Amino acid sequence: MFWNPKMECMPVEEMKKLQYEELKSLVTKLYESNQFYRARMDSKGVKPEDIKCIEDISKLPFMFKQDLRDNYPTKMFSVPNNQIVRYHVSSGTTGKPTLVGYTQKDLGYWTEALARSFTSAGIGPEDTLQVCYGYGLFTGGLGVHYGGEKVGATVLPSGTGNSERQIELMQDLGVTAIACTPSYLIHLLDVAKKMGVDIRKDTKLRKAILGAEPWSENMKKKIESESGIETFDIYGTSEQAGPMFTECECHNGIHIPADIMYVEVIDPETEEILPPGEKGELVVTMLQKEAFPLIRYRIKDITHIITEPCPCGRTSPRIARITGRSDDMLIIRGINVFPSQIEYTLLQIPEVGDQYMIIVTRDGALDNMVIQVEIKPDAFSDNMDDMIKLRRHIESDLKKYLNIAVTVELKEPGELPRFEGKAKRVIDKRVI
């Protein structure tokens, strides 16, 4: 089953021509109208007329997350404000978050990508899809929601949390497919067990679209053998639009619709483009993006490209499961967290010294992040209540800024490790 057979099964050479046309017109338009991108191209000495085939994309300069932050909120936008129809906000590395704006067309290709993905995963009008991603500023909930509606599935926008109720609704409404983080699904399976609900017998849940955090073949096997649910890896970040791309029912990589996104994998050190099969850092170009450009964007996810034909008949390239990051970003319960954000927040709190440690563990199925901070000697009080208040104050500042609950531990000066050279402040004990 295909959602858009013409695009999904287009011969590779024909697709390259289409990609070239899209890229050429995008770059020409941006060079004329987008100050940021014009300056970036000039600094590399490249002009739109240098693009003569899709492979010439390698002549174009890279873009970085820092560029989005530096141009916060809307300096990079290339359409007038009245054409922006939605915003989403994700974590930035420090200070300001990353703002993503969407035109109607941007929402269109996002939903189109999800419609193709869901169809390839066998999800359609007969399905009831429970969306347990966060709705709101995070792209997960609304993105998957509209994708589900597009293919005619019945969407249950249940959001995150309240797990007992999620299981009850799953049973009462005959939910057949779920979209959430893999760790949340494992948590839901635990909750169901405690409630005496047998997922195989007492629910109709058969498919799970899982993403927003790294997971492994081991987790996949564990979920599938314990629950009989077929799992599909989903990929996509807010810069691209949101979660967009999934595996098909053949389960051999995530299909990337080539008319929507152009993928390259580079060696993060030498910036040299790597051939298919070689692991490196993913670089993405959104060929249809309108609100702001995303050309050769260093997304920092580690993967490799798969070009062997897929038995499903789709001609698009695929990417392997994301195996890590080429920066220090952490994903905690599906939310991106940069250690630099934590440092930035702690520096604003006068009672806190300049040493801190971040310890991440997995408690059952859910991530837990503990931030150890050294307090300044003057901040110490003989009154236990004052100390607990100080800890809560730090916790609440971090929560405000990171959008996730963290546990703070107060330490005395000198207690935390000091580093010579590059500091290793993150201890990630999770086994994924």
Partner 1 sequence: MSNIIKQLSIFVNNEPGRLAHISSVLKECNINMRAFNLAESTEFGILRTIVQDPEDGFNKLKTKGIIVKKTDVIGVYMEDTPGALFLAADALGKASINIEYGYAYSYKDKAIFFIRVDDPEKAVEVIKGQGIRLVDDSEI
Nearer to partner 1, 384 or 431 (CB): 384
Distance CA 362, CA 383 (A): 33
Nearer to partner 1, 253 or 353 (CB): 353
Q: How many residues bind partner 1 (CB under 8 A)?
A: 16
Q: How far is the CB of 95 from partner 1 (least distance, A)?
A: 29
Q: How far is the CB of 375 from partner 1 (least distance, A)?
A: 8
Phi, psi dihedrals of residue 365, rounded to the nearest 5°: -100, -10
**Of the candidates 269, 282, 408, the residue with the CA atom closest to the CA atom of residue 351:** 408
Structure tokens at 398: 């971090």
Q: Which amino acid is at 154?
A: T
Tokens 């490790």 map to which residue? 417
Phi, psi dihedrals of residue 128, rounded to the nearest 5°: -115, 120
**Of the candidates 244, 208, 228, the residue with the CA atom closest to the CA atom of residue 127:** 208
Structure tokens at 407: 């546990």
Q: How far is the CB of 386 from partner 1 (least distance, A)?
A: 10
Q: How far is the CB of 427 from partner 1 (least distance, A)?
A: 15
- 356 near 384, Cβ under 8 Å? no
Nearer to partner 1, 174 or 413 (CB): 413
Say whether residue 363 binds partner 1 (CB under 8 A): no
**Among the listed residues 267, 397, 415, 428, the single contact to partner 1 using CB under 8 A:** 415
Exposure class string for 133-156: b at 16+ Cβ within 10 A, else e: bbbebbbbbbbbbbbbbbbebbbb
Distance CA 227, CA 428 (A): 28
Q: Which range, of 62-70, 159-167, 274-282, 377-385, touches partner 1 by CB under 8 A? A: 377-385
Nearer to partner 1, 26 or 416 (CB): 416
Q: How far is the CB of 390 from partner 1 (least distance, A)?
A: 11
Q: How far is the CB of 360 from partner 1 (least distance, A)?
A: 17
Nearer to partner 1, 295 or 375 (CB): 375
CA 384 to chain CA mean position, Å = 41
Distance CA 52, CA 244 (A): 29
Distance CA 182, CA 208 (A): 9
Nearer to partner 1, 10 or 410 (CB): 410
Say whether residue 421 binds partner 1 (CB under 8 A): no
**Of the candidates 150, 147, 175, the residue with the CA atom closest to the CA atom of residue 158:** 175
Helices assigned H by DSSP within 354-418: 384-402
Q: How far is the CB of 380 from partner 1 (least distance, A)?
A: 5
Q: Which range, of 13-21, 246-254, 378-386, 424-432, touches partner 1 by CB under 8 A? A: 378-386
- DSSP 3-state assignment of 13? helix
Q: Which amino acid is at 55?
A: E
Say whether residue 381 binds partner 1 (CB under 8 A): yes
Residues 383-412 that bind partner 1 (CB under 8 A): 383-384, 387-388, 409-412
Q: How far is the CB of 384 from partner 1 (least distance, A)?
A: 6
Q: How far is the CB of 376 from partner 1 (least distance, A)?
A: 9
Other C-beta atoms within 10 Å of 168: how many? 13
Nearer to partner 1, 154 or 381 (CB): 381
Say whether residue 360 binds partner 1 (CB under 8 A): no
Distance CA 211, CA 322 (A): 10
Positive or negative: CA dihedral 39, 110, 66, 397:
positive
From its phi and psi, is residue 332 left (phi > 0), alpha (psi between -120 and 50) or beta? Answer: beta
Q: How far is the CB of 355 from partner 1 (least distance, A)?
A: 13
Say whether residue 380 binds partner 1 (CB under 8 A): yes
Nearer to partner 1, 32 or 386 (CB): 386
Say whether residue 417 binds partner 1 (CB under 8 A): no
Distance CA 17, CA 294 (A): 20
Say whether residue 382 binds partner 1 (CB under 8 A): yes
**Among the listed residues 174, 276, 313, 413, the single contact to partner 1 using CB under 8 A:** 413
Say whether residue 196 binds partner 1 (CB under 8 A): no
Nearer to partner 1, 204 or 411 (CB): 411
Q: Which range, of 89-97, 237-245, 285-293, 376-384, touches partner 1 by CB under 8 A? A: 376-384
Sites of contact with partner 1 (CB under 8 A): 375, 377, 380-384, 387-388, 409-415
